Structure 1
Amino acid sequence: MTHVYSVELFPPKTAEGMNKLKQDIPQINALGPAYFSVTYGAGGSTREGTFETVAWLRSQGIDTAPHLACIGSTREQVREILAQYHAQGINRLVALRGDLPSGMGAGNSGDFRYANELVSFVRAEFGDAFSIEVAAYPEYHPQAGNPARDLENFKRKVDAGADAAITQYFYNADAYFGFVESCERVGLSIPIVPGIMPITNYTQLARFSDTCGAEIPRWIRRRLEGYGDDVASLRAFGHEVVLGLCQRLIADGAPGLHFYTMNQSGPVTCLWRDLGLTI
């Protein structure tokens, strides 16, 4: 099996943040990821930042997969974005529903309601010009209500033309393999790449996890809470946990790993090194 290892960035909100990211990217790129994905804020709130980040990555010759969230957008707006990316030589997208910005009502949700509609639109407008990746939720999306409904939603995206999927982060490998088995039972065979979140800040991680429904196992939470202000010990433990997770995922058949860098090169570089990944 050929494994695919990739990384994710988010567009910085300030010029200072962009300059820092430009300094860190060469270190990450030296690891040899297959591509960099770039996130797209709620309702397109980081649209210009996403375009700027993507354009800079492409100027450096780096394969790039922009995220494209459809909620709050019209067909014409999405068509223009796709045409821009196609003109830049981009051939990979991460197609998402996304979230409306806080304060924006459902009446402003645009022409798309779900990610499968975006996938269908991309295929209708651009055929196979883009390889399309979609989101998957091993512990199921909190808005789905239950795993069966979440699997139905995922199947709609695959049936619409998705080529592969990237999961929400998780720390329970059994949840991932259970999800993959559920997909196989209903005839879904696209690669499902685990999303990997390094552990460097417990407060931030707990907030993210409570929002997106990703479970932090109780034993991990307790250990992280116990470190308090001892950042070095917390990060050493977090590295050990995530490294072990990655090793099991690769050993047991995951098609690759997608690292959520949070725009920090250090944690991903350490994981990449200790996993023995090479260009």
Structure 2
Amino acid sequence: MNKAVTFSIEIFPPRDAAGWNQFDQTLTRLKKLQPRFCSVTYGAGGSARRGSDIALAHVQRQTSLTPAAHLTCVALSRNETLDIARHWWAEGIRHIVALRGDMAEAGTPFHPHPAGYKYAAELVAALRDLADFEISVGCYPEIHPESHDRLADLFNLKQKLNAGAIRAISQFFFEPEVFLRFRDAAAAIGIHHPLVPGILPILDFNKAAGFARRCGASIPKWLIDRFDGLENESDARGQVAASLAVSMCERLIAEGVQNFHFYTLNRPTLTLAICHALGIQPALERAA
């Protein structure tokens, strides 16, 4: 396996004591693989803002991982948004994943705060002026659900990158060709920044399908068939999920992809298995 292959992870703020235990297990098990950074989600409409702040501080102070803070345009004025960014900078957090974000009520069209940022590109430009943050943005291999068409979606991505972001992390997808076609289309309009595929290990197929419907990711019939009948077979389901993710990543690596972003859902086992299968192993094992 190409030693240049690297990865990052995404986690979400815990809500209770059991969640904190799982959160710590996720960090402990995955930090051995030295991910490039660990992004902490923000919650629709900023609904997990306080929890996100606590989780970020925990990653920053209690682990060797590099935290990346999610920040959205939802429900805050420009001054309030920048105050959050200033606070993170003072805490030593240097990486922000800048997103437009979604409203707290599922399915509600985005409405900017009257005094807030309307688009992620505006947020990126403001953060770039504020401090020397490393800024990532999101992208949609199958088009954002609210975009008019592929070209409009790509030009929006180009605006975010030109505003000062250094990479775009993709929404998850289930077939490598989806990402490769997107990458080709992006290159055709002059996007040459790193596009990092987002990988969602399928812990629960029905839950993953629900996520997909909300973000516009297509679910191929062959994938439905692979998980059919495994509802009560957790071990077999995990083996199928890992095998499919490894196969997809290997195809992407063969096409020149070197960086991946894993949506862990605070469940590290599948991500750990996938990384090992791809040759991403703990530093001590590599040294041996």
Sort the TM-score into its range (normalised by shorter chain).
Answer: over 0.9
* Paired position in structure 1 for 2:96: 93
SS of match in other structure, 1:167: strand
Other-structure match for 2:216 = 213
SS of aligned partner of 1:177: helix
In structure 1, the residue matched to 2:36 is 34
Cα distance between partner residues in 2 of 1:205 and 1:184: 29
Contact 2:73/2:112 (8 A) holds in 1: no
Residue 123 of structure 1 aligns with which residue?
128
* Residues 81-160 of structure 1: pairs in structure 2 closer than 5 A: 81-102=84-105, 106=111, 108=113, 110-126=115-131, 129-160=132-163
**CA distance in 1 between partners of 2:197 and 2:81 (Å):** 27
CA-CA distance at 1:145 after TM superposition: 3.0
How far apart in 1 are the matches of 2:177 and 2:240? 20
Contact 1:72 1:110 (8 Å CA) reproduced: no
Tell me, in whole angstroms, the C-alpha distance in 2 between the residues paired with 1:250 and 1:52.
35
Mean CA deviation greater in 83-92 or 96-105: 96-105
Q: CA distance change for structure 1 residues 237 and 107 in 2, over 3 Å: closer, same or farther? A: closer
Aligned to 2:12: 10
Once the two structures are TM-superposed, the CA of residue 61 in structure 1 deviates from its matched residue by: 3.2
Counterpart in the other structure of 2:58? 56
Structure 2 counterpart of 1:142, which letter? P
Shift of 1:15: 3.0
TM-score, scaled to structure 1: 0.94
Q: Is the 8 A contact 2:5 2:280 kept in 1?
A: no
Q: Does 1:246 align with 2:249?
A: yes
Distance 2:210 2:249 in 1: 23
Q: 1:107 to 1:177 in 2, by over 3 A?
A: closer
User: Over residues 75-111 of structure 1, what are the superposed CA-to-partner deviations in whole Å (9 max), with x where a residue is unaligned?
Assistant: 1111111111111222211000001111888374651
Determine which of 258, 262, 271 is the counterpart of 1:259. Answer: 262
Report percent identity of matched pairs: 35
Q: Which runs of 5+ in 1 are unaligned?
A: none
Distance in 1 (CA, whole Å) between partners of 2:264 and 2:26 is 11
State how far apart, in whole Å, the 1-side matches of 2:240 and 2:180 are: 24
Specify the code of the residue in structure 1 equivalent to 2:35. Answer: P
Matches of 1:107 and 1:65, distance apart in 2? 23
Runs of 4+ aligned structure 1 residues displaced above 3 Å come to: 1-4, 103-110
The CA RMSD over aligned residues, in Å, is 1.8
**Residues 99/251 of structure 1: CA separation in 2 closer, same or farther (3 Å cut):** same
Determine whether 1:201 maps to 2:192. no
Q: How many residues align?
A: 277
Q: Is the Cα–Cα contact under 8 Å of residues 75 and 112 in structure 2 kept in the other structure? A: no
2:229 counterpart residue number: 226
Return closer, same or farther for 1:57/1:107 CA change in 2, 3 Å cut-off: closer
Q: Following the alignment from structure 1 to structure 2, what is the Cα–Cα distance between the partners of residues 158 and 124?
A: 14
For residues 220-239 of structure 1, the C-alpha deviation after alignment (integer angstroms, 9 at most, x for no partner) is 11221232322222221111
Alignment TM-score, normalising by the size of structure 2:
0.91
Residue of structure 2 equivalent to 1:170? 173
The amino acid of 1:23's aligned partner reads Q
Q: Distance in 2 between matches of 1:73 and 1:203?
A: 33
- Give a deviation string over 1:40-99, Cα, whole Å, max 9, x none: 011211011111011011112321111111121111111111111111222211000001
Cα displacement string for residues 95-141 of structure 1 (whole angstroms, at most 9, x for unaligned residues): 00001111888374651121111101111222xx1111000111111
Separation in structure 1 between the aligned mates of residue 64 and residue 222 of structure 2, nearest angstrom: 43
Match of 1:45 in 2: 47
> Which one-letter code corresponds to 1:6 in the other structure?
S
